[in-house]
């Protein structure tokens, strides 16, 4: 009986040690970000988003030069979204490509703008301490990171668009949905990592509790904006359809094949 007890206690102790060790282990990306933070050389905002996220985290935390960062992020988000919009619209010719290039940045940046107040207020309400500028930079960070993925996927989507026939519309819609979803997941993951990094640095900048909820809200707003500002892919010889409706209707139409 005693032997059994000893064995149980030993196992419990080993388990405890493993749990403590796992909890105290710092993920590799955090140490890399920390090292990035010490670097001072100037890099373009896109390169910082992809290769030196730690420098952005540092600037976001310090609040240094946030106006310039916000401006650069907005410009990059605008350009990448316009490019991907042009790719979406190119399915129906150059005029629709131009229309979609104008409208898709509105979808991405408009959603960011619409969701910014809720991001800031909800973060404040759960005790986090971002300033409005920091919240704005964080939302744009997510949007621009998504834009970079869209930029990376644009040649692939373009290739499929120009090489597919008119009956492949549903395939292309699915492709764009997957690309945009992947881009948003990348952006949200970056924001989530930022939050974990700040927690590790013991800076109460963002709260993870409302971040998930806000992410859902952002996705819903992006879908509705895309529906409202449609058509993006299929040409109807109009800039805006002007039809009121919920994005759920478009999802239903996609799956039932009706139009």
Q: Give yes or no for residue 120 binding another protein (CB under 8 A).
A: yes
- What is the Cα–Cα distance from 101 to 104, expressed in whole angstroms? 6
Judge whether 61 and 203 are in contact, CB under 8 Å.
Answer: yes
83 or 222, CB closer to another protein? 222
Nearest CA-CA partner of 143 in 203, 97, 80: 80
Q: Which stretch binds another protein (CB under 8 A): 57-65, 73-81, 111-119, 170-178?
A: 111-119
Of the pair 127, 257, the CB lying nearest another protein is at 127
- On whether the CB atoms of residues 108 and 77 are closer than 8 A, the answer is yes
Q: Does 11 bind another protein (CB under 8 A)?
A: no
Contact set for another protein, span 130-149 (CB under 8 A):
130-132
Q: Say what the alpha-carbon torsion angle 151, 220, 181, 92 is, to the nearest 10 degrees.
A: -60
229 touches 103 (CB < 8 A): yes
Enumerate residues 205-244 that contact another protein by CB under 8 A.
Answer: 217, 220-221, 224-225, 227-228, 243-244
Q: Which of 245, 251, 252, 253 binds another protein (CB under 8 A)?
A: 245
Q: Are 96 and 83 in contact, with CB atoms under 8 Å apart?
A: no
Number of residues interacting with another protein: please give it, by CB under 8 A: 28
Q: What is the DSSP letter of 63?
A: T
Q: Least separation, in Å, of the C-beta of 220 and another protein? A: 8
Q: What is the closest distance, in whole angstroms, from the C-beta atom of residue 127 to another protein in the complex?
A: 5
Q: Give the nearest distance from C-beta 149 to another protein in angstroms.
A: 24
Is the backbone peptide bond immediately before 242 cis, with ω within 30 degrees of 0?
no
Q: C-beta of 153: minimal distance to another protein in Å?
A: 26
Q: Is 246 in the site for another protein (CB under 8 A)?
A: yes
């Amino acid at each position: 009986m005693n032997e059994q007890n000893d064995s149980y206690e030993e196992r419990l102790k080993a388990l405890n040690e493993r749990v403590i060790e796992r909890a105290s282990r710092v993920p590799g990306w955090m140490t890399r970000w920390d090292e990035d933070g010490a670097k001072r050389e100037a890099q373009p905002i896109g390169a910082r988003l992809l290769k030196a996220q730690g420098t952005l985290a540092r600037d976001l935390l310090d609040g240094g030069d946030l106006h310039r960062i916000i401006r650069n992020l907005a410009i990059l988000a605008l350009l990448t979204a316009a490019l991907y919009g042009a790719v979406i619209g190119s399915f129906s010719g150059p005029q629709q490509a131009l229309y979609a290039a104008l409208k898709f940045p509105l979808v991405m940046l408009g959603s960011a703008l619409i969701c910014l107040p809720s991001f800031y207020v909800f973060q404040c309400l759960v005790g986090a301490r971002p300033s409005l500028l920091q919240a704005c930079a964080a939302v744009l960070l997510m949007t621009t990171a998504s834009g970079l993925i869209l930029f990376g996927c644009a040649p692939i989507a373009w290739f499929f668009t120009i090489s597919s026939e008119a009956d492949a519309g549903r395939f292309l819609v699915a492709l764009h949905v997957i690309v945009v979803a992947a881009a948003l997941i990348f952006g949200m993951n970056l924001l989530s990592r930022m939050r974990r990094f700040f927690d590790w640095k013991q800076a109460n900048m963002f709260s993870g509790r409302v971040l998930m909820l806000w992410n859902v809200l952002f996705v819903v707003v992006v879908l509705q904006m895309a529906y409202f500002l449609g058509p993006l892919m299929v040409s109807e010889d109009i800039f805006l359809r002007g039809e009121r409706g919920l994005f759920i209707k478009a999802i239903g139409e996609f799956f039932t094949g009706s139009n």
